[in-house]
Amino acid sequence: MSSATAAPPECAGAGLSPGGGALARTGRRKLREELTTPAPTTATDGCDCPKCAPAAPLSDIEAQRAVRHVLTAVAVAYATGRVEFVSCVDCPSCGAWVPQFVETDG
């Protein structure tokens, strides 16, 4: 097999999310919507900070790849409000975005 047609190495996180019940599916659907929805902007005088000029939303394909990296337990926690999405980082294996979460107070 030539290097041009060889498959990239499998990402360790990409196969972790297909399962789960209704709550996991709800969490993944909610996250996908959040990743693809433009963030609200504030009135600005040219400021380019993240609050005044938020990053563009992910494309549907990018969001699908990102959601595949979310563990079922995390998807359930997101659906039930126990964790909150805060940002994305690059997956070192496949280059897709990997959503990052923090626990909520509730």
What's the CA gap between 40 and 53, in Å, rounded? 9
Range of the domain at 85: 22-103
How many structural domains is the chain composed of?
Answer: 1
The answer to whether residue 57 sits within a structural domain is yes
Assigned token pair, 98: 């990997």
Helix 60-67 and helix 22-36, axial crossing angle in degrees, nearest 10:
140
The answer to whether residue 93 sits within a structural domain is yes
The answer to whether residue 5 sits within a structural domain is no
The answer to whether residue 39 sits within a structural domain is yes
Coil vs helix vs strand at 84: strand
Q: Return the higher-pLDDT residue of 23 and 20.
A: 23
The answer to whether residue 12 sits within a structural domain is no
What's the CA gap between 78 and 103, in Å, rounded? 9
The answer to whether residue 58 sits within a structural domain is yes
Residue 28's alpha-carbon distances to 45, 51, 54, in angstroms, are: 36, 25, 22
The answer to whether residue 9 sits within a structural domain is no
The answer to whether residue 42 sits within a structural domain is yes
Asked whether the predicted pLDDT for residue 90 surpasses 70, the reply is yes
- Counted residue by residue, the chain has a size of 106
Amino acid of residue 104: T
Per DSSP, which regions of 25-93 are E strands?
83-90
Write the pLDDT tens digit of every residue in 47-82. 767 666 667 789 999 999 999 999 999 999 999 999
